[in-house]
Structure 1
Amino acid sequence: MRTISHHIPEPILAAYVSGNLPEPFALVVAAHISLCEDCRAAAHAHEQMGGLVLEGTDSVAVSSDLKAALFAQLDDMPLEAPPSPARAIGPYPAPVAEYFTGKEPRWKSLGRGVKQSILMNNGTGSVRLLYIPPSMAMPDHSHGGLELTLVLQGSFSDSQGFYARGDVEVADSDVTHTPIAGPEAPCICLAATDASLRFNALVPRLLQPLFKI
């Protein structure tokens, strides 16, 4: 198994563990953690630290009426069987596989063999799967906000480095790049953004509203 070289930055990991990370980015972090022993251990350490903080926090007394009302609500809640845990499907880790049914995402063509499958698009951002043919270059672009890109299959390279399965690229408004898929296999990535990309060429800018990128 190859060594993962590009990890989740500590502030993002801490926000994920505390539940303060928007869902699109949280999905990327969860998928990376499922592949990366180092970040899985770091996330566990953050959880342990959070538990110690809670243990050291003074308790707050509540009235007997409030306590009785809470227990009554719990008694009235129907018991449901816990859902079956999701499983990895092909190159897709379990957290990603939860977002589509069947054995493959629902791909839509972006042209020249590139495809995408939007898993989520809401007020906090969007997250999508990208399928890029071998050696294909994506349009040169910068970012209106934060972008996390996790490689699930194959590889890509750009001005920031080389990324293969399990690696995460963190790009913000200071980064302009042209990702190029590796020659060995189609590159499949999970990409989350909280703002639109900024394409430098005219054609991608014209198609941007249609493809919701």
Structure 2
Amino acid sequence: MNPHHHLHESTLISYAAGALPSPLNIVAGVHLEQCPHCRAQLRQAEAIGSVLMEQTQPAPAAAEQRRAQLREAMLAQLAGEGIPSAESMDRQPSRERPEADPDHLPVALHPYFGSSLRNLRWRWIGPGMHCIRAEQMPSLIMLKIAPGKCLPMHSHGRSELTQILRGSYNDALGLFAPGDMADLDEDVEHQPVTAPGVPCICVSALDAPLVFSGWLARKLQRFVKL
């Protein structure tokens, strides 16, 4: 898996600082499991955070020792909040979806959706569209969209993170395939069209409802709650 669309650097900094809302944090973690490029960027963000923490403290007598202490304190804080660091991810065996089990879900999703796509109970929300919400976190959503489906034009109330797990879609930003991350904000308006072949399955997190352009989609929004 070689992702071509990645987390924005501001998202990585927020992730490293533990400042992302929980649903966004989970989807960012899914991408980081599968993307060495973003793990490398996360290491840089963690290093910057460690330096900033050090600069807020009086200059120590043993600078190197204090720097190590601050770094360990920051990593311990991230671990205590359930936020894996790039270092801890790199120490673990590869979590990319095993080829022998294409239905395997990323580890970060197991507490919310289980370990396999086969066990999910999808809910119909429209022609060719199904979803499932995490019981513990309703704004964490998995979507399954039929091949060749054109979604309504929409923008975003605030932030959206969407990780592609299977299938693909095209929009004005390009082709999004398995492993790719759509890191979107209120300035992006797009109309995804799923590719032929297999359904597009993705996991999304929103921190505000979508903003649909068409009147019909706006009418239906209160029923599908996206």
Q: Give the structure-2-normalised TM-score.
A: 0.72
User: Hey, what does 2:225 align to over in structure 1?
Assistant: 212
8 A contact 1:91–1:153 mirrored in 2? no
Instruction: Give the SS at the match of 2:144.
Output: strand
Distance 2:167 2:104 in 1: 10
More helix by share: 2
Measure, in 2, the Cα distance between the counterparts of 1:31 and 1:209. Answer: 28
Q: Does 1:197 align with 2:189?
A: no
CA offsets 1:7-47 (integer angstroms, 9 cap, x no match): 10111101101101111111111000001011112212323
Return the alpha-carbon distance in structure 1 between the equivalents of residues 44 and 151 of structure 2: 37
* Structure 2 counterpart of 1:47, one-letter code: E
Aligned residue runs from structure 1 range 1-213, under 5 A: 1=1, 3-54=2-53, 57-58=57-58, 90-101=103-114, 103=116, 104-119=119-134, 126-213=139-226
C-alpha distance in structure 2 between counterparts of 1:203 and 1:116, whole Å = 19
Distance (whole Å) between structure 2 residues aligned to residue 145 and residue 14 of structure 1: 17
How far did 1:92 drift?
A: 2.0
Change (3 A) 1:174 1:102: closer
Q: Give 3-state SS (helix, strand or coil) of 1:190's partner.
A: strand
Please tell me the root mean square deviation across aligned C-alpha atoms, in Å: 2.4
Cα deviations by residue, 1:54-101 (Å, 9 ceiling, x for unpaired): 456349xxxxxxxxxxxxxxxxxxxxxxxxx9x868252110122124
SS of 1:99's equivalent in the other structure is helix
1:142 maps to amino acid: S
Q: TM-score, normalised by structure 1?
A: 0.77
* Cα distance in 1 between the residues matched to 2:174 and 2:220: 28
1:87-119 C-alpha deviation (Å, 9 max, x unpaired)? 868252110122124633332111212101112
Query: Which structure's CA Rg is the greater one?
Result: 1
Hey, what's the Cα distance between the residues in 1 that align with 2:38 and 2:9?
9
Identify unmatched segments of 5+ residues in structure 2. 60-91
Deviation at 1:190, TM superposition (A): 1.2
Gaps of 5+ in 1: 60-84
1:66 aligned partner: none
Letter in 2 for 1:41: A
